[in-house]
Amino acid sequence: MTTMTDPPGQGFRLSQLIYDTRYRSLTIQVVAMILLMLLVSWLVANTVTNLHALGKDFDFGFLTQPSGYDINQRLIAYDSQSTHGRAAVVGILNTLLVAVLGCALATVLGVVAGVLRLSNNWLVSRLMAVYVEGFRNVPLLLWIVLIFALMSESTPAPSAFRGDTPSASMLLDGVAVTNRGIYIPAIHFGAPFFDNGLYNWLIVLIAFAASVFAVKRLSRWAAVKQEATGDRPTTWYLTLGILVLPVAILFALMGAFLDLPSLQGFNFQGGIHLRGSLIALWLALSLYTGAFIAEIVRGGILAVSKGQSEAAFALGLRPGTTMKLVVLPQALRVIIPPLISQFLNLTKNSSLAIAVGYMDARSTLGGITINQTGRELEGMLLLGLFYLVLSLVISGAMNVYNTSVKLKER
Amino acid sequence: MSDTHAQTVAYVRDTMTEQREPPLSQTGAYKWILGNMLSTPLNVILTIGSLWVIWSVLSHVLPWAVLGIWNADSLSACRAIRTEIYGADASVACWAVISERWPQLLFGFYPPEGYWRPVLAFALFIAAIAPILFASLPRKMLWLTVASPFVMFWLIWGGTVWAPICIALGFVIGWAAIRVAGPRIGALGSILLAILVPVLYWVVIAGPLASGLSAILPIGLDQVASRDMGGFMLALIIGIAGIVLSLPLGIVLALGRQSDLFLINKVSVIFIEVIRGVPLIVWLFTASLLLNYFLPPGTNFDLMLRVIIMVTLFSSAYIAEVVRGGLAALPKGQYEAGAALGLDYWKSMRLVVLPQALKISIPGIVNTFIGLFKDTTLVVFIGLLDPIGLSNAIRASTEWNGIYWELFVFIGLCFFIFCFSMGRYSLFLEKKLRREHR
């Protein structure tokens, strides 16, 4: 708000601090500053007094002390003798695991549901509307406990798989759905020198990244050829080969074999055990967020005006090319920012893991560690910081993306 | 046609032919099904797939729900009835848990003889919110809206009638201060006065006044503690309080974030980003575990109040972002026009900018409200008995041990009805407020 004021006839008067727009903003800010400082110092003084009265101090030393509790799902080595700090890292990794799995599945579900909701097929679009409205209007917590109850109440116990005529059977001989979780086959590497699982997967990942890079080069070569001659060389078999062959050869070299779960004693052994808590949390988060993503995708596609695809058809582009070159780039500009904020929501909602006993960051750092050490202040501060940093990093990345795809206007 | 032309033609039909029915393939259900469901091979596959999904869901759920048993006093009794009627391996719902426990699901452990109080408060709320939601209702009803928070508080928590009256009196005093002192000492002075005098009144006079009045004229209801409230009543109290309080706070935060004043701007940004960056559950634990650290030693206030404060702060940060979007979407000319008319900041915001900005942000605001209402279920983790918490409590009792789906379905349906109708109202409002031609 800029207002032209006549230059004051006489010197500075005190009332100008309130009535003169040039000085008023300064006055307001100084008063606000003083009030803020007073509030903060009041809070800090209270905290210091309270901590003193309880005989506590403000110290992060507990992070290096042995934790003394077990975590049932761990991505890195951990036992009850490890430190509280390591327990926090295990929890953070579990949070990130379910967040990444959830984002992937939610995107797939959301894109499929969003596109199908626009379908001409009345039945399909109504079905998708029911899915979207049903999941958006019921609390996520209810879905989590419901799916967890489904997992634990409506699935057979491992003992049902035993005997000559078992009442339950494994899917494709490799996947067992039980009330203790789902057992799926694992890939292990048997060749000498390849006994460390993590590094093996890193090698596979690097090889795959190299293949993807090569595929990109291939398609650029094809595009150059098309520009020069007008004919695009057929590359799909080359692409397939480049993507599959190196990884397959690597698997053979490293002696990969499938480790199938099998019933031994009272429980399944071998394979990968996905706990019921992880499955329930993952499915509920994905289905719930997927409903929101479906609406975003639908809105994004509707936001591209019909004239755009008609213009592309008028230029003689085929429907597939039109989608790829004209509609999708414009729809993505609308879709991506809210999509990423949905990913953020999913990550934050994963803290509802508490409902099913999934050991995420809140359960380890913000739960058992706090209970055992009595360090509520430090624990909650670290937990809050973890989520805050995660949010800021993701939204920072989103801002960079937004500026890069923004319409370049005058 | 001219006459000459008519004579040259042997025969001219002077009536229209009867309109014939369109061919069967172009009309009715046949065409509709052919066009909407079976137009392409992909569409055929989709239709068959959807039919299969619908069939497999309905064939399980429908008999289960429709054949459900409504009269039993425990799960075992329910199963006995089922075995008697449908046989031992039939799967039917046991809705008896709802019919037996629905007062608890609605009110928690609120004293049964006082159920009329929350019901009356809810009816009052509907009456109070109606003139805000629908402009066609008489404006006089707004007085009810102004009085309703105090009456509702008194009805639900009980206690002497004088406490809410004395608190309400503070607002009257503040309003009077603006009216009386405004013309004499200017807008700024009267606003300061209208804040200072009521605060002084509440701190110094209101307490003794209320206890004095209740000693002279003891009118009141039985007091009910917050920990006895639960179920949908709790969800509604937290949800409605959060919604009503977070909207003004969110608007103020959004204006703060748009402000040119450096300090105000930065404080708003930090507040919004910190609140939004951390999950609600962490804030709720902060409210229940840490709030005592930040307050003077010995202060201890109601857990429900703490939750309402936290939920309000949380959703006000989200609303601030939604409103900021609305403010940013307004063309700059609107701000400049407000300034050109000589309006000061607050007037141009109130009369020019905010009405338009809020109109743009209605869908986002309502979505935030729906999210807030759904998030009230999270209070179960800090020990309040929301519907999901009550479903756990019911399952823990010996009669209903092992009952899951009936409770989930009931709770889910109730939430669905509330949230879906909120969403529909937002669509109605959007349509009503739309000004440009489409």
Interval A348-375: pLDDT, tens: 999 998 888 888 888 888 888 888 888 8
Neighbours of B212 (CB within 10 A): 12
Q: Identify which has the larger pLDDT, A235 or A173.
A: A235
Total domains in the fold of chain B:
2
Say if B265 falls within a structural domain.
yes
Q: Is B191 on the interface with A (CB under 8 A)?
A: no
- Looking at the complex, report in whole angstroms how far the Cα of residue A161 sits from the nearest Cα belonging to chain B: 21
Q: Touching check for B262 and chain A: CB below 8 Å? A: yes
Rounded Cα distance, B159 and B222, in Å: 6
**Phi, psi values for residue B31, rounded to 5°:** -65, -40
- Which residue, chain included where needed, has tokens 């039985």? B222
Give the Å distances, CA to CA, from B12 to A97, A260, A346, B2, B432: 82, 87, 75, 13, 54
**A77 vs B187, more confident:** A77
pLDDT band at A290 (very low <50, low <70, confident <90, very high): very high
* B290 to A376: CB separation less than 8 angstroms, yes or no: yes
Please state, in angstroms and rounded to a whole number, the distance separating the CA atoms of residues A254 and A195: 9
| Distance separating alpha carbons of residues B104 and B390, to the nearest angstrom | 8
Contact assignment for A53 to B297 by CB distance below 8 Å:
yes
Residues of A in contact with B296 (CB under 8 A): 46, 49
Residue B286: per-residue pLDDT: 87
Q: How far apart are CA A271 and CA A261, in angstroms?
A: 5
Q: Could you give the angle at the alpha carbon of B198 between the alpha carbons of B197 and B200, nearest 5°? A: 65
Q: Which residue has the tokens 């031994």?
A: A264
Which of A16-20, A184-188, B389-393 shows the lowest mean pLDDT across its residues? Answer: A16-20
Residue of A170, A187, A201 lying closest to A259 (CA atoms): A187
Interface probe for A, chosen from B105, B282, B314 (most Cβ of A below 10 Å), is: B282
Helix (H) or strand (E) holding B6: helix B3-8
CB contact under 8 A, A124 and B50: yes
Q: Nearest CA to CA, how far is A123 from chain B (Å)? A: 7
Q: Do B106 and B40 fall within a single domain?
A: no
The answer to whether B408 contacts A121, with C-beta atoms less than 8 Å apart, is no
CB contact under 8 A, B412 and A32: no
Residue B294 and residue B234 in one domain? yes
The contacts of residue A58 (CB under 8 Å, 6+ apart) are A51, A377, A378
Q: What span, in angstroms and rounded, lies between the C-alpha atoms of A20 and A4?
A: 10
Residue segments in chain B with a per-residue pLDDT below the cut of 70:
1-8, 186-188, 436-438
Alpha carbon distance B74, B71 (integer Å): 9
Q: Return the ∠ at Cα A321 (arms to A319 and A327), rounded to 5°.
A: 80
- Which residues make beta-bridge pairs with A175? A171
Helix (H, G, I), strand (E, B) or coil at B404: coil
Q: Say yes or no: B406 contacts chain A, CB-CB below 8 A.
A: no
Nearest chain A residue to B53 by CA distance is A127
Closest CA to A207 of A249, A168, A173: A249
Inter-chain CB proximity B278 and A25 less than 8 Å: no
Please answer whether residues A204 and A188 qualify as being in contact, where contact means their C-beta atoms are separated by less than 8 angstroms. Answer: no
Q: What is the mean pLDDT of residues A187-212?
A: 77
More reliable by pLDDT, A95 or B223: A95
Q: The CATH number of the domain where B250 resides is what? A: 1.10.3720.10
Q: B276 contacts in A (CB within 8 Å)?
A: 391
Is B50 in Cβ contact with A121 (below 8 Å)?
yes
Which residues on A lie below 8 Å from B294 (Cβ)?
Answer: 43, 46-47
- The verdict on residue B201 lying in a domain is no
CA distance B80 to chain A (A): 20
B37 to chain A: which residues are within 8 Å by CB?
Answer: 121-123
Higher-confidence position of A3 and B20: B20
- Using a CB-CB cut-off of 8 Å, the residues of chain B touching A51 are 293
Q: Do A387 and B53 touch (CB under 8 A)?
A: no
Nearby residues of A250 by Cβ (< 8 Å), 6 or more positions away: A203, A204, A207
Kindly state whether A25 is in contact with chain B, defined as any CB-CB distance less than 8 angstroms: yes
Q: Give burial (CB, 10 Å; 0-12/13-18/19+) of B325.
A: middle
Q: Is the pTM of this model over 0.95?
A: no
- Give residue for tokens 């629908």: B134
Of A358, A275, A356, which is closest to residue A96 (Cα–Cα)?
A358
Q: Are residues B316 and B393 in the same domain?
A: yes
Give A21's Cβ-side CA count (13 Å radius). Answer: 10
Closest of A71, A321, A268 to residue A161, by C-alpha: A268
| Those residues with Cβ within 8 angstroms of residue A403's Cβ, 6 or more apart along the chain or in another chain | none
Q: What three-state secondary structure class fits B160?
A: strand
Q: Name which of A18, A120, A134 is nearest B188 (Cβ-Cβ).
A: A18
Please state the three-class secondary structure of chain A as a single string: CCCCCCCCCCCCCCCHHHHCHHHHHHHHHHHHHHHHHHHHHHHHHHHHHHHHHHCCCCCCHHHHCECCCCCCCCCCCCCCCCEHHHHHHHHHHHHHHHHHHHHHHHHHHHHHHHHHHCCCCHHHHHHHHHHHHHHHCCCHHHHHHHHHHHHHHCCCCHHHHCCCCCCCCCECCCEEEECCEEEECEEEECCCCCCCHHHHHHHHHHHHHHHHHHHHHHHHHHHHHHHHHCCCCCCHHHHHHHHHHHHHHHHHHCCEEEECCEEECCEEECCEEECHHHHHHHHHHHHHHHHHHHHHHHHHHHHCCHHHHHHHHHCCCCHHHHHHHHHHHHHHHHHHHHHHHHHHHHHHHHHHHHHCCCCCHHHHHHHHHHHHHCCHHHHHHHHHHHHHHHHHHHHHHHHHHHHHHCCCCC
The three-class DSSP label of residue B220 is strand
Check CB contact of A112 with chain B, cutoff 8 Å.
no
Asked if the structure places residue B130 within a domain, the reply is: no
Minimal C-alpha gap between A53 and chain B (Å): 9
CA distances from B218 to A340, B155, B213, B242, B314 (A): 58, 16, 8, 32, 39
Quick check: B278 and A388 CB within 8 A? Answer: yes
Is the CB of A96 inside 8 Å of chain B's CB atoms?
A: no
What pLDDT does residue B152 have?
87
One-letter amino acid for residue A279 of the chain: I
**Sequence-separated (6 or more) residues with CB below 8 Å from residue B157:** B223, B224, B226
A46 vs B282: CB contact, 8 Å cut-off?
no
A380 touches chain B (CB under 8 A): yes
Confidence band (pLDDT; 50, 70, 90) for A195?
Answer: low
Between B73 and A9, the more confident residue is: B73
> How large is the angle between the packed helices A84-117 and A328-349, nearest 10 degrees?
140
B378 contact residues in A (CB cutoff 8 A): 141, 352
Q: Give A105's contacts (C-beta < 8 A, 6+ positions apart).
A: A282, A283, A286, A290
* Chain A interface, best mutation among B50, B315, B324, by max A CB count within 10 A: B50
Residue B180, helix vs strand vs coil: helix
Residue B92 domain flag: no
Q: Would you state the pLDDT for residue A138? A: 92
Strand segments, DSSP code E, in B265-373 are none
Q: Which domain covers residue B32, as residue numbers? A: 23-63
Q: SS3 of B221, please?
A: strand
Kindly state whether residue B199 falls inside one of the protein's structural domains: no
Residue B25 burial (C-beta neighbours within 10 Å; 0-12, 13-18, 19+): exposed
Contact call for A116 and B277, based on CB within 8 A: no
Domain membership of residue B360 (yes or no) is yes
The first and second tokens of residue A286, run together, are 């994905």
Min Cα separation B293/chain A (Å) = 5
Which residue is closest to A361 within chain B, CA to CA? B282
Residues B348 and B295 in one domain: yes
Q: Rounded mean pLDDT of A305-311?
A: 89
Q: Which residues 153-192 on chain A approach chain B with CB closer than 8 angstroms?
A: 153
Mind listing the pLDDT tens digit for each residue in A103-149? 999 999 999 999 888 887 888 889 999 999 999 999 999 999 999 98
pLDDT grade for A201, boundaries at 50, 70 and 90: confident
Pairing of strands A181-184, A272-274: antiparallel
- Residue at B250 is within a domain: yes
Q: Are residues B106 and B55 in the same domain?
A: no
The first and second tokens of residue A285, run together, are 């988060």
Most A CBs within 10 Å: which of B299, B375, B404, B419, as the mutation test of the A interface?
A: B404
3-state secondary structure of B401: coil
Over 80: is that where the pLDDT of A394 sits? yes
pLDDT of residue B86: 82
- Whether the per-residue pLDDT at A286 is higher than 50: the answer is yes
Q: Which residues of A touch B370 (CB under 8 A)?
A: 136-137
A26 near B CB under 8 A: no
The alpha-carbon gap from B91 to the nearest alpha carbon of chain A, in Å, equals 12
Two structure tokens written together for A126: 């109504």
Residue B163 domain-assigned (yes or no) = no
Q: Which residue has the tokens 């110290």?
A: A59
pLDDT value for B1: 47
Q: Mutation target for B interface from A2, A37, A135, A138: give the one with most B CBs within 10 A.
A: A138
- Check the CA dihedral B248-B254-B258-B263 and report its sign: positive
